[in-house]
Amino acid sequence: MSFDMNKLMQQAAQMQEQVQRMQEDAKHETAESSVGGGMVKVTANGAGEVLAIEISRDAIDPEDPEALADLVLAGVNEALRSARAAVEAKAQQMIGELGLGGLGLPGLGG
């Protein structure tokens, strides 16, 4: 069995292109969470950015600002989790398509 360095380098370049494409796609993968019965809605993307926060007037109680803070925090965390999960699912699919799942590399489904 011969070792083809050129082929290995070509595969590495293709994998790098795929990873860069996946990182770009993550910016466009969005998820929305709704907490407190819809009083707070948060939209985030797979790149870990919060894109929008909508707060209902009903969520604003001057006597209890901590409740609003808790709702916003819960909404942000849920939106980020959902967006990250969608990106990870696409990454696992890409890894399977590239046949890398059995390499035993950390983070590559092995």
Most confident of 22-26, 69-73, 88-92: 69-73
Out of 14-18, 43-47, 79-83, pick the least confident.
14-18
Domain 30-99 falls under CATH 3.40.30.10: no
- Residue 59 DSSP one-character state: G
Looking at residue 1, its pLDDT comes to: 56
Residue of higher predicted confidence among 103 and 65: 65
Nearest to 42 by CA among 77, 66, 93: 77
Residue of higher predicted confidence among 75 and 102: 75
Looking at residue 100, its pLDDT comes to: 62
Give the whole-angstrom CA distance, residue 100 versus residue 79: 29
**C-alpha 89, offset from chain centre:** 9
Q: Which two tokens stand for residue 13?
A: 């370049």
Q: Is the pLDDT of residue 21 over 70?
A: yes
61 touches 21 (CB < 8 A) = no
Q: Is the pLDDT of residue 106 over 70?
A: no
Give the whole-angstrom CA distance, residue 101 versus residue 88: 14
Give the whole-angstrom CA distance, residue 104 versus residue 28: 29
Give CA separation, 95 vs 19, 72, 104, 109, in Å: 10, 34, 12, 8
Mean pLDDT, the chain, integer:
85
Domain residue spans of the chain? 30-99
Q: Is the pLDDT of residue 110 over 50?
A: no
